[in-house]
Amino acid sequence: MSKTVFIVAYIAGILWLGAWEISALAYNAKYTISDLTWQWEGVGWTAARYLVLVSLTFLTLHLAFKWLR
């Protein structure tokens, strides 16, 4: 039961973000998630970008390769 809830939640999240990006590109490309992030944080490597890099690396190793379990 709980596995199904997580699967549905992940799929819903991916679809929501995909819909956001498609609608932003259709309306105006400056409203995409990545462009808004660059506008808010500015240029260069900030602590938030390092955190995102570490988080995505961990998730890739954890979910794709079953490391760090």
Asked whether residue 27 falls in the same domain as residue 2, the answer is yes
Structure tokens at 53: 């890099």
pLDDT higher than 80, residue 24: yes
Specify the pLDDT at position 67: 79
In the chain, the number of structural domains is 2
pLDDT higher than 80, residue 37: no
Domain-located, residue 36: no
Instruction: Summarize the chain as % helix, strand, coil (round to 5).
Output: 80, 0, 20
Sign for the CA dihedral angle at 7, 10, 12, 15 comes to: negative
Parent domain of 23: 1-31
Specify the pLDDT at position 33: 76
Domain-located, residue 37: no
Asked whether residue 25 falls in the same domain as residue 47, the answer is no
